[in-house]
Chains A and B, each alone.
Chain A
Amino acid sequence: MKLIIFAGPPTCGKTTVIRQVIKRILTKNLKPSFIKIDVLFADEDETIAKDFGIPTRKIYSGELCPDHCNVVVLDEAVEWAEKQGSDFLFVETAGLCLRCSPYVENSLGIVVLESTSGMNLPRKIGPMLTLADIAVITKIDLISQAEREVFRYRVLEAAKEITVVESNALYGIGIDPIVRKIIDSKEVELPMFLRGNPPVGTCTICVGKKEIGAKNHFGVLRTMDQDLFYVGE
């Protein structure tokens, strides 16, 4: 099973890119399945199942952080896709958190960024970009060629080793090189491990402590002026 994980801010074009990829994967007689992970609402699973006739699922993270949800369900997701007889599992993440990244060892991590989102975006989104294998820059039809080159530079400045692909995803321009990388990617092995390091410590806020102020929390903390320190066992 090849696991392809797509991340990126809302409306950057993840679904549009995935649909173009699926179209091309199907013409090569390969078998993809698709999972959408989101917080409250998603309909990509229904439209993709209807338009391409492939196995799809959606998972609502609800109360849980969507990246956390991704970590706790992905093993079952891979087993599900195996049962469907798929060669590839495409996962579209919610793409909300800028501190975590959803990529797994041996998966192919694809971050989707829209070229219209400003020159500082690549500097803002952290591991979602720096731990990815491919950065797909969408909506190149909406900006000038000069801006495209400067945006690409900003992406490479933040993630030196990444492969950059520029795309007008509406027309499928730039999709073929992504498909080649997907086909050449590695098989995932169970048990799977998250790529890179997750955020430091166990977050007391995530587990429901709402009081403001470092004195009300434990684990790795900081104050306004003090660097990171640790309270606890």
Chain B
Amino acid sequence: MGDIISIVGPTGCGKTTLINDIELFATKNTPSERTILINDEPVPEDFTFDPSKHPIALISQHTNFLSDLPVGDFLRIHAKVRGADNVDTIIEETLDFANQLTGESINRLTGMTELSGGQTRSLLIADAVIIGNSPIILLDEIENAGIHRTKALELLKKYDKIFVFVTHDSRIALLSDFRIIMKNGSMEKMIITGPEERRAAMELKKIDDVMLEFRRLIRAGEEITDEIFNSQIKNLAYSN
């Protein structure tokens, strides 16, 4: 298993800017005027000029595609660019991954521009992990896309990569190996997730699962009766 790192901080503190800088290998040429080094060294030029050598995939906050191509054609070209040899299997695997995160499934013939916000994010994540196969994956607010985020975390953990999550979600933050706290555009502090926080994370997970279950019920058109409410709340070992 790889590393999971979270970046947290209030809205507008510069989280997205930081991961964009990392992906672009900023050299004082972005609004932050940051320089990105790899192991204290400047970044080799072919990382920026040859996409197949680029070690970082970025899944931005974008929730729509602009490409006027069917999903299958798009993935085929991207797999080719990334030097895959068994293109068909890889496309299959990518769609399969994406479809585990969405409600309505995506197929090869769907136009990229027809996908919903959640479908778009799901496909971007699957594409970055499987087709991009980049060792480092940066994800901006994975929780805000209406996708199945716990399922996403679970699937992602199977891959041996460094994941960097920009997140406002306490559960994702506490499941990380460490988190970077940002303020006023810079990295202020780093906290390694210790045993106490891990225990807290387990408890929060229960509350979160209950919230997710309510969400599922509401989405499925259920009414929340006293009976349903009480049976769910029991899972938290509280009662009312």
Binding site for B on A (CB under 8 A): 115-116, 118-120, 142-154, 164, 171-173, 175-176
Contacts and interface: CB of A to CB of B under 8 A. Distances in A.
B29 A120 contact: no
B66 interface: yes
Contacts of A172: 29
B53 to A, nearest CB: 12
Nearest to B60: A144
B68 interface: yes
B58 A147 contact: no
B57 A118 contact: no
A118 B67 contact: yes
B81 interface: yes
Contact of B68 (A115, A120, A148): A120
B128 interface: yes
Interface stretch (B72-80, B98-106, B196-204): B72-80
B31 A150 contact: no
A115 B131 CA distance: 21
Interface in B159-205: none
Given A150-B67, A153-B77, A153-B80, A143 B62 contact: yes
9 contacts: A116-B66, A118-B66, A118-B67, A143-B66, A143-B67, A145-B23, A146-B128, A153-B80, A176-B29
Contacts of A173: 24, 29-30
Main secondary structure of the interface of A (DSSP, over half): helix
A144 B62 contact: yes
B51 A149 contact: yes
Contacts of A152: 51, 81
A149 B29 contact: no
Interface in B4-42: 23-24, 27, 29-31
B124 A119 contact: no
A145 B30 contact: no
B77 A144 contact: no
A144 B74 CA distance: 13
B74 A150 contact: yes
A115 B127 CA distance: 19
A171 B31 contact: yes
B62 A119 contact: no
A146 B66 contact: no
A115 B65 CA distance: 11
A145 B48 CA distance: 12
Nearest to B23: A145
Closest 6 CB pairs of A and B: A149-B51, A118-B68, A150-B77, A145-B58, A146-B127, A153-B81
A144 B23 CA distance: 12
B81 A171 contact: no
B218 interface: no
Nearest to A170: B31
B78 A146 contact: yes
B212 interface: no
B132 to A, nearest CB: 7
Interface string B75-116: 001101110000000000000000000000000000000000
A122 to B, nearest CB: 12
A119 B30 contact: no
Given A150-B74, A150-B78, 10 more contacts: A118-B67, A119-B74, A120-B68, A144-B60, A144-B65, A145-B57, A145-B60, A145-B128, A146-B131, A151-B67
Nearest to A151: B67
B69 interface: yes
Interface string B44-63: 00000101000001111010
A148 B51 CA distance: 9
A124 to B, nearest CB: 12
A167 B78 CA distance: 20
Contacts of A175: 29
A13 B58 CA distance: 24
